Structure formats: structure tokens, C-alpha cells
Amino acid sequence: MIGFDNEMQKALEADGEYLRQMTGEDHGPIFLVTCDACGGEGVFLKRITVYEAGCAFPHDDTDEQKCEACDGFGTVLS
């Protein structure tokens, strides 16, 4: 299956180059792949312990932080 994907990408790139030569404009293709840093989620979940004033017991909470590698989209250009 990987060979098919690589062959298809090469064929699409060749088509894009052909269209560029004919029209003088960039027609792509643009390939997006899943971000390796966040696994395609776009965010990192970070567990934090919250201490509130007047409460005797701390509790756990999650904080979402945007992935800097893909700017929170979950995909990057290949």
C-alpha cells in the first residue's frame, strides 16, 4: 500500500508540474501528513494539580496546550 501512495504522489506532482508549465501558475499538489509531535491531535493534554484557596484537598485537572510543530492543526506539509 505504501508503494501505491508514493507512486500516486509522484503522478500528482507530475500533473501539477505539467499544469505549471501550461498555465504559469502553481496548481499543487500540496500533501498533508499527520504531525508526529502530537499524533494528529493538535494539542497536548497536560495533567495539573489545582490547589484552591479555602479547599482542604487538591484536585487534578487537565490543561490543553497547542502543538507548536503543527500550530494546532494536527497536520503538516510533507
pLDDT digits (tens, 9 = 90+) for 34-69: 888 888 888 888 888 888 888 888 888 888 889 998
Distance CA 7, CA 42 (A): 28
Which pTM value belongs to this model? 0.49
pLDDT at residue 1 tops 50 = no
C-alpha cell at 48: 495539573
Q: What is residue 13's predicted lDDT score, i.e. its pLDDT?
A: 84
